[in-house]
Amino acid sequence: MKIQVKQQENNGIHFHLSNKSVSLVIESTQDGYVFLRHFGKKIRNYHASNRPQALDRAFSPGPYADSRCFSLDTQRQVYATAGMGDFRYPAIMIANEKDQGLDLRLLTYEVQDGVVPIAGLPSSHANQKAAQTLKLVLEDRVLAIQVVLFYTLFAESTVIATHVEVTNNSQQGYTIEKLHSAMLDLEHCNYELIELAGAYAREKTLQKTPLKQGLMSVNSRRGASSHQATPFTCLAAPTTNEEQGEVIGMHLLYSGDFEAGVFVDQLATTRMFIGLNHETFRWQLEPQATFTSPEALLTYTDQGFGQMTQDMHDFVKAHILTGQHQNALRPILLNNWEATYFDFDEAKILALADKAVEAGIELLVLDDGWFGQRNDDNTSLGDWFLNEAKLPKGLANLVEQVNQKGLQFGIWVEPEMVSVTSELYRQHPDWCLHMAKRPHLYSRNQLVLDLSREDVQNYLIEAMSTVFASANISYVKWDMNRNMTCVASALQQHGIKEISHRYILGLYKILTALIEKFPHILFESCSGGGGRYDLGMLAYMPQTWTSDNTDAICRLNIQYGTSFIYPAITMGAHVSAVPNHQVGRITSLATRGAIAMAGNLGYELDLTQLPQTELTEIAQQVQTYKAIRPIIQAGDLYRLLNPTTTPNETAFLYISKDKTEAVVTYCKVLAQAESPTTVLRLKGLDETARYRDTKTQQCYGGDELMHVGVTIPLARTDFYTVTFHFQKC
């Protein structure tokens, strides 16, 4: 971790940032222009070997009357503006009635120890000596606008964190019309754009698209990061695979509307960007006011997708997750949702608890239906008081009985929503997002509360605090089951396009308050599954319900895509009943268990209706997972066979950090006549060590397992899985 600052003979400055394996080189000219000279593999020193040629490019204007060979339109910029000669996709746009240009020049810089926290927004963390930050202060002297770029290095990471701060030092107001958190101008366009797209119940589907001239965007306009998109994108060389090839990644710590992507220009250079979605964002920047962007993360490797994944997993666990659950092993849970839906009472919950204890499960979660008059999804959201018809003896009494059986207790809430049929809506109809004189738009029979309002924020903090303090609750599933429409506030205090961002700021304020009050609670984020599975939420809630789709075969693709950037310790994965409630498929309990063990194992089915043989099998699965849980949740992931390239076969490997244990899971979707033999070559083991198969007790060399491989037994059945657990002899 090192930030070098060198003054050049021509009065320019070189800023060379380098960490474990990545270098970022920025150059300022004597006139204060700031350009990107290198982002990629670590170099020892920079001596301008790649200095750009001075060429007269047609239709590219420049600021110097005596030179046609300099234009911002052809330079690799660090942070591009609009209106000053660069016709490519800008990172920032600021305007008033008379001016929509922004001419940023370097004013000053500072190098400081530690990270720079962002008020009101999630950001990566590190102790003071484990990080270093470069602060570049840019200024438009005409508009009196300052733009500060922050770049943070971490001692034990390959990731660079960056964000932007905009200050209006003038006496007049401006409108921020666009603001990206990060931008990289790259020297060529021989890449594929990679994104995690999808839909409800089909989240995090990996997509690759070759770059072409023009704009290619990944975005959400739904008020959440969404099932359909993920605030992440990367560029990879066409030949990149799990083990080799260049990968350049951008990630955003944000849970609302975003945009990311690339712009390829007429000279085949690529501008990569990520930040707030300018289609749903405007911000009035009053005199002397400051606005700060969400934080973005920059990653680079020349060792393929596998290395990018491990770099991100390590960074998330060390610098994004917080609190006492940051690295704590996650409990194995039973959720009553698919077991009972809304139809339960105290006796039914306690019967499930008895079976959970019998199986060795550690946590019982009471899902939707415990509050208000909630007997279906048409009513009571917002009424966070007990449904006494179902639990007449009270929540605390139920929790105490569950605790006495040896189980922790968790509860489901959906605080951001309101039902029209509720006491809250009757008292405060103006508290929902709503455009005046227009009818409501419903989704799942509910409306969205206006979290941009301080009174709504305070209500939710108080209401949730009352619930969480009412009993010995150790886990909370925080759901959000619709996207935003009619995004306007009855208060009309702010511009219409400020509301979406103010909503997210309100959400983060609420979460901060609750986590500070209840640090012992393990929060799991959910939005109909993975509709808000992003780094912003993980900074507050250290795990996420990956998808409402619990079918094991569907989960192969969902969990593969999720694993691309998010570690297993954040990934909720449950065994549910068959036929599966989402797709109707029937898979064996063994297969359902094996796939769910790739994340935080849980169960979501009626244990009281299972035959004893299946209860015994579940107990064996729980025992197995407890033995391998530290490897899955704290170890390194290697993807051996990917469902995107080998659709009928998937295999993944987790290895403990000290390389003493490894768990391999293989799944074949459909049986084939005369099927070829599959031999899996493992990765990441200690080549000089010997490893014992815990089932057969046979020992093998680490080099043999990696370079010769393990034969997968041939099975004449669909949806077949096999798992190996190796320990150092």
What is the identity of the amino acid at 442? Y
Residue from 103, 383, 548, 551 carrying the catalytic annotation:
548
CA–CA dist 6, 479 (Å, integer): 50
Find, among 414, 418, 383, 547, the residue nearest to 480 by Cα.
414
Across the strands, what pairs with 58? Answer: none
Q: CA torsion sign, 312 to 313 to 316 to 317?
A: negative
Cβ(519)–Cβ(324) under 8 Å? yes
> Which of these is catalytic: 265, 479, 534, 636?
479
Contact 658, 636 (CB under 8 A): no
Nearest to 1 by CA among 151, 143, 122: 151
* Cα four-point dihedral sign 277, 282, 287, 289: negative
- Active-site annotation holds for 113: no
Query: Sign of the CA dihedral 427, 432, 438, 442?
Result: negative
Query: Are the CB atoms for 198 and 561 separated by under 8 Å?
Result: yes
Q: Which long-range contacts (CB under 8 A, 24 or more apart) does 142-146 make?
A: 142/99, 142/103, 143/94, 143/99, 143/102, 143/170, 143/174, 144/168, 144/169, 144/170, 145/94, 145/102, 145/169, 145/170, 145/174, 146/107
SS3 463: helix
Contact in structure between 555 and 547 (CB atoms under 8 Å)? yes
Residue 341, CA atoms < 13 Å, CB-side half-sphere: 5
Neighbours of 453 (CB within 10 A): 22
Q: How far apart are CA 302 and CA 491, in angstroms?
A: 51
Which residues neighbour 66 within 8 Å (Cβ) at sequence distance 6 or greater? none
Please indicate whether residue 548 is annotated as part of the active site. yes
Whole-number Å distance between alpha carbons of 632 and 655 = 8
306 backbone dihedrals φ, ψ, rounded to 5° = -60, -40
Q: Using the Cα atoms of residue 375, residue 376, residue 377 and residue 378 in order, give the sign of their dihedral.
A: negative
Q: Rounded to an integer, what distance in angstroms lies between the CA atom of residue 701 and that of residue 682? A: 11
**Dist CA 470 CA 443 (whole Å):** 30
Give the closest residue to 293 by CA, choosing from 253, 264, 327, 326. 253
Query: In what helix (H) or strand (E) does residue 315 lie, and over which residues does it extend?
Result: helix 304-315
DSSP-based three-state secondary structure for 691:
strand
Instruction: Report the DSSP beta bridge partners of residue 602.
Output: 333, 574
Are 663 and 725 contacting, i.e. CB atoms less than 8 angstroms apart?
yes
Residues with active-site annotation = 479, 548
